[in-house]
Structure formats: structure tokens, C-alpha cells
Amino acid sequence: MISSAKARFQRISPRKARMVINMVRGRDANEALQLLEFTPKAAAPIVKKLIASALANAKIKSASTDAGSLYISKATVDQGPNQHLRRWRPRAMGRATPIVKGVSHITIELAEA
């Protein structure tokens, strides 16, 4: 692992974020940034910003690191807590069910090829 970046408490459901993460996992970092530029998914700008942050972290960590040789070695999306957005939806016979809002923790790790 050369560098990593985390985006925690992102207001997107993990299922939607995993679709975008699965597209870029294993690709070159620069290729992934170009792919995300034209991806019409809600998670694409979040993941693009995260990959750019991981590239910046790699340059800060080691100035001699070539950005062209870095690839996404590990990319995960985990579910975050739903504590602050608790809402209730009325249901039949006086019952109520919670409205679950998606919160994600996204992690990207870059390594040298």
C-alpha cells in the first residue's frame, strides 16, 4: 500500500456506491479518474474526489512516486450509522416503519504496479 484515503459518513447508500467502486477496482488511478468523469452515477463524484485525494496523499508521502504507476489495489464500501436521520413513515392500522437513509464509509488504497 502506497497511500489511502477514506470518505466517511457519505450520504449515499452503500449499494449505490458499490456499483461505482466495482467499476474502478483494480484499474490504474488515472484511468479510473477519466472513467468517473463521464459516469452518470450519484457516487461517481464522491469516488473521483476520493481517488484524487489518495493520489495527492501518495505524492506527499513520497515525492519520487510516479502517479502513472499507481493502481487501485483495495476499494471498499461499508455501511455507516443511521443515527441522525431517523424519520418515520405511517403505515396501515396505526403502525409506523422507519425510513432508512443510506450512509457509507468508502475506503480507497493505492499501490504501485
- CATH of residue 83's domain is 3.90.470.10
Contact at 8 Å (CB) between 86 and 98?
Answer: yes
Res 113 pLDDT > 90: no
Res 39 pLDDT > 90: yes
Over range 45-72, report the average pLDDT. Answer: 92
Question: What was the pLDDT predicted at 92?
Answer: 97
Q: How many domains does the chain have?
A: 1
Produce one character per residue of 33-47: b if its CB has 16 or more CB atoms within 10 Å, e if not: bebbeebeeebbebb
User: Could you tell me the CA-to-CA distances from 22 to 25, 46, 65, 73, 108 in Å, in that order?
Assistant: 5, 14, 25, 12, 12
Over range 35-63, report the average pLDDT. Answer: 95
Report pTM. 0.89
Supply 44's cell numbers.
Answer: 461517481
Question: What was the pLDDT predicted at 45?
Answer: 97
Question: What was the pLDDT predicted at 52?
Answer: 96
Q: Residue 66: which domain range? A: 3-112
pLDDT (tens digit per residue) in 63-79 = 888 888 999 999 999 99
Angle among Cα 85, 88, 90 to the nearest 5 degrees reads 160
Res 84 pLDDT > 80: no
Query: How many Cβ atoms from other residues are within 10 Å of residue 79's Cβ?
Result: 13
